[in-house]
Structure 1
Amino acid sequence: MVRNPERRRQLLDAAVDVIAGHGSRGLTFGAVDREAGAPAGTASNYFASRDQLVDELAAHVFGRLAPDPVETAKRMSRPRTRDTERELMRWLVERAMSDRAAHVALFELRLEAARNPRLAPAVTRHFAGNLESATSDHVDGGFPGDEATVLVLYLAMTGLLLEHLTMPGLLGEEQVQRIVDHVVTAIVPESTPPHASA
């Protein structure tokens, strides 16, 4: 059977909404079909198993959340300073708020991996690739700090997004922006110290 790539994307977008709205336990082929407005049995024709659906869903979410390359190039053309890093983290929060379902899906995928040892390696691989890309962008891009800087910044921003997206009444928008500023100032140095000569 020839499968339509656009239909596959629609099913994966529907899966994002299902897992964000109902949790990983609500992610069934039937729920995806209903969310996508597709005939019963469509999702099972595209994905051989629920595990395959979850694996492809993880890749799809990261692809969906990837920033616009033109806007990224524009922002990355600025000097590689802590202030630029701060603006990039503010932009990350803006993008998270504009596609809340996809970010909530990431939180649910973490929980799915924790509960399902069969899926943990595949889901972890997608997250590891994302972290590796962020590390490369920061270090190879010439921003202040090193791999440890990126890891701590990644963990801090993940925690902030978890709080803000799952408990929107806890932190206001202005407070979130202030927290981003504090996080970047505390973690990212003003400049990377030159290596001591041997």
Structure 2
Amino acid sequence: MSALFADVQILNQQNNNTAPIEFPLSAGLVAGKCAVDRKSEATISSTIEEKDGRVKTLKFVFRTDEMRVKRVDELRWTLSKVVYVEKFAGSSAIFESDNSSVIFTAPLTQKYVCEDRINVTLHSENFDFSILVMFSPEIDVQPYGPKSNFYLCERTRKRTLSDSLQHRSTVFCGVILALSSIVHIVGHMLRRHFMPHRKELYENLDRIQ
């Protein structure tokens, strides 16, 4: 199992709060459980204890599932759940992602790589506000199998394709403008050469200038 998150932030959306708090995963107590087989869940968590006694845990749950991809059933791994737990003064609050959500997914033997920000919303049965877990790029995760080639996330693929098309469009427009200018100059020269009555007019204009 391998998981690399460049930066993770927690945003408590209570009272329209907009200031996220850093959650340095590697600075906490990291624990995990590898899947004993392809049907088992794999988990990894990081627990941080603050100076005021507040204990925060961020947990990731992975599982495998058959998913239909391009009309073919494919065995893939998914990050199926993100759990945030905060304990303080004998009480605790638990926030989880939706059970139906698929946050990250890739073919079973491939690692998931994403170069774009991904936000995951967590909810609690006991609170009427949500928590946002924000993953900054780069994201590199492979919970199952040995290291292999990577699977680029859909968002990064679309952005890369869009940037490439935009670049090609800019180059194409530049070429069209250059060709248009050349055609205009050549046409101007041909009119002066093959139209005597205009040639005399152009020469008079040149003398005036």
TM-score range, shorter chain: under 0.3
User: TM-score, length-normalised on structure 1?
Assistant: 0.25
Larger helix proportion of the pair: 1
Larger strand proportion of the pair: 2
User: TM-score, length-normalised on structure 2?
Assistant: 0.24
